[in-house]
Structure 1
Amino acid sequence: MAYPGEQLSEEKVFKDPVHRYIHVRDKLIWDLIGTKEFQRLRRIKQLGTTYLTFHGAEHSRFNHSLGVYEIIRRIIDDVFVGREHWDHNERLLCLCAALLHDLGHGPFSHSFEKVFRLDHEDFTQAIILGDTEVNAVLRQVGDDFPKKVAEVIAKTYPNKLVVSLISSQIDADRMDYLLRDAYYTGVSYGNFDMERILRVMRPREDQVVIKRSGMHAVEDYIMSRYQMYWQVYFHPVTRSAEVILTKILHRAKKLYETGYTFQTEPTHFYSLFSGNVTLSDYLKLDEAVILYYFQQWQEEKDEILRDLCSRFVQRRLFKYVEFSPTNEQMEKLMELRRLFKKIGIDPDYYLVVDSSSDLPYDFYRPGEEGERLPIYLLMPNGELRELSRESVLVDAISGKRRTDHKLYFPGDFLSDVSTKRATKKKIMEILEG
């Protein structure tokens, strides 16, 4: 065993705009940061296509992963140390899981996963358990240590307190991405008093709880999360870019399957198109690679692929209107599809309904799909009370899912009235009606 307790001869620090400094004293953490699999996260944006809406959102999953590590380090080294229910032997495991929790994210993350039916959590575990530099470093602690780290990230590790630090309704992951994403997008919605929350966190047998005196800081955190989802993460312009990105990948896959001859062969996509992605293939993908193809495909013979890539690269995004999946609206959608085909626009690529949904806070609902462990307050008498039982504000939004639907289309195609003027006019009347 090379690592347990082994410290660097001198502490390393990363200057960070959110946490001021990120401190690394453990040689194990320093070596993990230096692996090629972790360094790859520098080339994966934290917020995917959001930079096309908020131009400052260029930060990476590398930034975020270091931030989550730093929050966990502060909790276990400054707040939990010496407290009942906390086993200090879990320290390195927590730090590693925090640092590596996003290791398997691919380029443009969720949009990419939907098209190719991938799961970044599966790849995170594959990197940790596979023939990788990360695995080699983790195995220096013990042969079973990579498995333990993977279990924490997969939420199957027996110590639920450890899991809750990384993944719960108030965890280090959420706290960092709210503050970090607010900073880089330039909005104020995501800001909350993290210092106060850290000070009132307490370990219990199965999860982290919050002292009753910190309830208002937690209310602020939950409302910040709610605002960030609807003002930033689900911004309709960002969703327009995601729609185009998704359609580019769908089009390229379909062309490949029909034997189309690409001017720029999609070498990096072959295993994705065939559904046989190896870990080695996956690790070669980053956003620089994807954007290279999009840049090149602006010159392709296929008109749809060429146009979609040009739209993404040059930020000529789709317009949108509100849409509700009622019978009446669905009939209008079918009519729009017919009219799009009539003027030579393929509705499969240029008429897209996109939906976003979020549940800001929920309490325990046994047996329900996606059940969530609630946030508990530690009362002065030692009793634990579920947050919404004490907070009128949280009670008002508990269990309430908000869903939003938009219909996306190429406004420039329809504004060109040089041909098929009557049909285009009818399309606009339906869209504006």
Structure 2
Amino acid sequence: MAYKDELLSEEKVFKDPVHRYVHVRDRVIWDLIATPEFQRLRRIKQLGTTNITFHGAEHSRFNHSLGVYEIVRRIIYNFKDRPHWNNNERLLCLCAALLHDLGHGPFSHSFEKVFKLDHEYFTQAIILGDTYVNKVLERVQPGFAQDVADVIAKTYSDKLVVSLISSQIDADRMDYLQRDAYFTGVSYGHFDMERILRVMRPIEDQVVIKSSGMHAVEDYIMSRYQMYWQVYFHPVTRSAEVILSKILHRAKELYEKDYSFKLKPTHFLSFFARNVSLDEYLKLDESIVHYYFQLWQDEEDEILRDLCERFMNRRLFKYVEFNPNRQMNEWMKLHQLFKEVGINPDYYLVVDSSSDLPYDFYRPGEEEERLPIHLLMPDGSLKELSRHSDIVESISGKKRTDHKLYFPKDMLTNLKDQSKAKEILEILYGQGDVRNVE
């Protein structure tokens, strides 16, 4: 029996709080889960700093990756006897679903921004490089690893396969919305996934939804909208992300100035120098980052020491609403005042912006083209979702952006020159109520 067809002697299951069970029968999938590169995902949180706001959000990329695999496994089971579905793509879909987040680093997107990295690049590098994952995939057949990488990169020739992993209604989103809602304890991310899976249909190059399932899809899109603004973009989480990014910026700046660290940042050196090898990337996980942050609380550099103490002990920045298009004069004044009182504005006066486009129709030629969700009508025709749903139409193509200004209120209230502190706080209060980040 060929390796790609080999089954385990009995089905293995992972107990899962979202899907009840994750079922594994293929030897390839079981072997991929056992690789060091996949096991590393246990040490990368799914939601970065969100656990500082929602204390239950301790789940990992490992949990999520298994969940995406399980949803794709169920979709494929429903598709197996339908036209347009090629069951020869089954194992490819399962492997791509399982490995789609393999390249995420510690604190994911915050870390990427500081060091100008791309987790999708590292996902493909792990799959195609000298790794245990690559060895398992190439045992299936020569070139299989490249096929998996192409699916994740959205360049694979069969667009139906790609759409299961990456589209506006894909297994990735369906898992993380429910999983993140479960672990944060909110109700926004819940929708009727069972119904959606029942009304999914494969066509030549994408998955479509039977028109009778439109309301379940509406619920899914609104769940995503609410999760972004109530959970993912929560201002307290963003405060922690601001401090995290400033710690990394400060450590990088000190390294470039030949500062003598009490604890040499060995694991960060290649990141600071922007010549990270795959092996160095894989060795840096969140436990290592926390180790450095814990010890950097004793560094001589006042800014690095303070930022690490804030992050480790949840002593976060406060925030006010801020409109960069209308309030640049206030921003420039605050910047100058911070300098005058000895607070470095580069690290302690930070504008953070978040934006989301919950659903979009097809805009050919635009950056990040989004294939729309199509409804399969009773007569066999396809109709774009927002043209049939008033709810979806009301938010289609509408990008919402939110800006906040973060600062250490405690530093201001403890200033010796309280007249300057009062002037700064009056400017901040003039932009809206100063929120207590509890």
1:381 corresponds to: 379
**Equivalence for 2:7:** 7
* Aligned pairs for 1:133-212 within 5 A: 133-212=132-211
Is 1:423 equivalent to 2:420 in the alignment? yes
Mapped partners of 2:198, 2:81: distance in 1: 15
Q: Structure 1: where are the runs of 5+ without partners?
A: none
Partner residue, 2:361 = 363
**What residue in structure 1 maps to residue 436 of structure 2?**
none
**2: CA distance between counterparts of 1:225 and 1:339?**
40
Q: List per-residue Cα deviations over 1:302-357 (Å, max 9, x = no partner).
A: 00000000000000000000000124x11100100100011100000000000000
The Cα shift of 1:65 comes to 0.0
CA distance in 2, matches of 1:64, 1:4: 24
Match status 1:330 vs 2:328? yes
**Rounded Cα–Cα distance in structure 2 between residues aligned with 1:9 and 1:427:** 69
* Alignment deviations for residues 112-147 of structure 1 (CA, whole Å, 9 cap, x no partner): 000000000000000000000000000001110000
Deviations 1:248-285 (A, max 9, x none): 00000000000000001100000000010000000001
Q: Deviations over 1:199-237 (max 9, x none)?
A: 000001010000000000000000000000000000000
**Offset at residue 411 of structure 1 (A):** 1.0
Q: Distance in 2 between matches of 1:275 and 1:370?
A: 26
Alignment-derived partner of residue 40 in structure 2? 40
Q: Normalising to structure 1: TM-score of the pair?
A: 0.99
Task: Give the match's secondary structure for 2:4.
Answer: coil
Q: Secondary structure at the match of 1:299?
A: coil
Q: For structure 2, list consecutive stretches of 5 or more residues without a partner in the other structure.
A: 431-438
Quote the Cα distance in structure 2 between the aligned partners of 1:238 and 1:269. 24
**Which secondary structure does the structure 2 equivalent of 1:369 belong to?**
coil
2:256 match: 257
Aligned to 1:432: 429
How many corresponding residue pairs? 430
1:2 offset after TM fit, Å? 3.9
Tell me which of 330, 335, 341 is aligned to 1:343: 341
Q: Is the 8 A contact 1:44 1:60 kept in 2?
A: yes
> Distance in 2 between the 1:15 and 1:200 partners?
26
5 Å-filtered alignment, 1:20-419, equals 20-77=20-77, 79-327=78-326, 329-417=327-415, 419=416
Q: Is the 8 Å Cα contact of residues 2 and 140 (structure 1) preserved in structure 2?
A: no
Looking at structure 1, the residues matched to 245 and 268 of structure 2 have their Cα atoms a distance apart, in angstroms, of 14
Q: Secondary structure at the match of 1:339?
A: helix
Q: 1:29 touches 1:96 (CA, 8 Å); kept in 2?
A: yes
Q: Look up the SS of the partner of 2:297 in the other structure.
A: helix
Equivalent position of 2:18 in the other structure: 18
1:86 alignment partner, SS class? coil
Q: Percent identity over the alignment?
A: 77
TM-score after normalising by structure 2: 0.98
Contact (CA 8 Å) 1:8, 1:26: kept in 2 or not?
A: yes
Looking at structure 2, the residues matched to 100 and 179 of structure 1 have their Cα atoms a distance apart, in angstroms, of: 19
**Structure 1 segments of 4 or more deviating over 4 A?**
none
Q: Is the 8 A contact 1:262 1:300 kept in 2?
A: yes
Q: Offset of 1:423 from its aligned partner?
A: 0.3
CA distance in 2, matches of 1:411, 1:315: 14
Distance of 1:80 and 1:415 partners within structure 2: 62
Amino acid at match of 1:179: Q
Q: Is the 8 A contact 1:389 1:395 kept in 2?
A: yes
